Amino acid sequence: MYSMGLYSLKAYTICSAPHLMKYYLVFFLFIIVQFLSLSCNRGTTPQIGLIELHSVEDNILKVDIAVQTSKDTDVYVQYWCSNGSEKKDSTLFVSSISKNAEQHNLRLVNLNLNTDYDFNIVAKKGGKKRISKTYGLNTAKEAPWIPYYPDKDSIASVNFNGYLHFHSRQVPGYMFMIDGKGELVSYQKSEANFKVSKFTHKGTLLGILSSDTLHFTNGRKIIEYDQFGNVLFEAETGKEGVEKSFHHEIDLDDNGNIMTLVYEQRIMDLSTLGGKTKDTIKGDGILVMNHDKEIVWEWSVFDVMDPLEDENILEDKKDWLHANSLFKDKQGDYYISFRNISQIWKINGRTGGIIWKLGGKDGDFEIPESAVFSGQHNVRINDKNELTLLDNGNMRFKPGRILPLINNRGRDINANARSRLLTLSIDTLQMKVTPTDIVTFPERYFTHSQGSAEYINDSLVVFCSTNTNKILFTDQNGELVGNIPLEYSTYRVQYVKELYSTDYVK
């Protein structure tokens, strides 16, 4: 084992260069390293040697830290905001951990703009710990090219533990992570447009990408990043055996496989209904593939439903049922939301058969009027085994009332529409639905399509009003607590409890 002596360092900072519209890290902590015999320090406290800081290309809110230590050592960084505060008065953050190595590469991802930080390197080995001296860094004052401009006054009453993930639908595209005060702590840039994004249970970021900004959720490429910006997976329609295009949903299942909604197209004879002998119907499917791009499971709406039995198929053939949400439960079954028929299906994850249908004109459950939903999105099962969803409340898609925007009296049928967060208890024995919680959002933030809603904690709800370009915060009664105006729309907003596990610190 060898020992490394710590002697001197130079100051460094993350600084701005406005004329270049780019920020650079002026770095180098030089620590003179003195090597001793490999045998004289066996079993002693781990040693810390050279520390280097590096900028991250195209991302001013990430800092790379390279650390040399004695062999077989675990290392992480602990850091805290030092803007006029003592360490004991500030929240202590920690990086991910590098284990059982001599050369360590760590990346800080939870940083705010225009903030001073102090940090230590923490080395652990064999139950012993060494903490380095305290060093400081300064982040850039602003990033004018990043399309996130929160209004601090509008969220002054909002503060929570955890983070929110969302994206900006533009070219170039951005994925964002903000903290409980609305401060930007991480972002991921792409030269393409993020149509849909998801922070997964494995701490990765998944996105559906497209080069256009017109089709809201449709894309021909999937990409997965780790939270540090490294690309873990890419798949593109028409390449390497991937034939279908993606839309509306992307996530990892419990096995780490990628699951997504895809478009299915069938050529059918619709002449008996007044159509062509060779007509194209665009429906939906589920595709599950592993990281080797091998198909693990797939399903198609055409396997369980005949378009010829749909009296509106000639009108709807270009977008038959419009699936917009996908969730897989712990038993391996899928929940899929169809906007055009205001219905949710539960699909057997082994056979592909329909277990039940909820809502719509031919649903299997008795639903009280207060729980009738229309044009819904963001369907999932919560920890209490209840079904939760955003009821967009779009009357154009209300069961039995598929109407044009303006009714025969010349009135907007969505004039008094409200979007709601619904939590439903599903009784599959009595085939009844009971609403256990309803949060009705302010009328002026009605979103007739897209969007999401979920509880952050017992008293705070986050609602993505896509059509008004707002992230809204309400109490459990739907009373507005705060809002964040967005420069560009986002498909949904997702609450994230933690960026990565820090159990190794405990």
Centroid of chain to Cα 506: 27
pLDDT of residue 16: 36
What tens-digit pLDDT sequence spans the chain (506 residues)?
Answer: 223 322 223 333 333 333 323 333 333 333 333 333 333 444 589 999 999 999 888 899 999 999 999 999 999 999 999 876 566 567 899 999 999 999 999 999 989 999 999 999 999 999 999 999 999 999 988 888 899 998 889 999 999 999 999 999 999 999 999 999 999 999 999 999 999 999 999 999 999 999 887 777 999 999 999 988 999 999 999 999 999 999 999 999 999 999 999 999 999 999 999 999 999 999 999 999 999 999 999 999 999 999 999 988 999 999 999 999 999 999 999 999 999 999 999 999 999 999 999 999 999 999 999 999 999 999 999 999 999 999 999 876 555 544 555 555 566 666 778 999 999 999 999 999 999 999 999 999 999 999 999 999 999 999 999 999 999 999 999 999 999 999 999 999 999 999 988 888 87
Angle ∠(166,171,177) on CA atoms, nearest 5 = 20
Counting beta carbons within 10 angstroms of the beta carbon of residue 203, is it exposed (0 to 12), middle (13 to 18) or buried (19 or more)?
middle
| Rounded Cα–Cα distance for residues 459 and 479 (Å) | 11
The Cα 497–Cα 503 span in angstroms is: 14
Q: Is 299 helix (H, G, I), strand (E, B) or coil?
A: strand
C-alpha 417, offset from chain centre? 27
What is the C-alpha separation between 150 and 313, in angstroms, rounded? 44
372 close to 357: Cβ distance less than 8 angstroms: no
Q: What is the pTM of this model?
A: 0.87
Distances (CA, A) of 475 to 160, 421, 460, 468, 482: 13, 12, 5, 19, 10
Long-range contacts formed by 16-22: CB under 8 A, 24+ apart: 16/140, 16/141, 16/142, 21/144, 21/145
Distance CA 315, CA 301 (A): 18
Q: Which two tokens stand for residue 299?
A: 């399903």
Q: 72-94 burial string, b = 16+ CB within 10 Å, else e?
A: ebbbbbbbbbbeeeeeeebeebb
* Helix, coil or strand: residue 12: coil
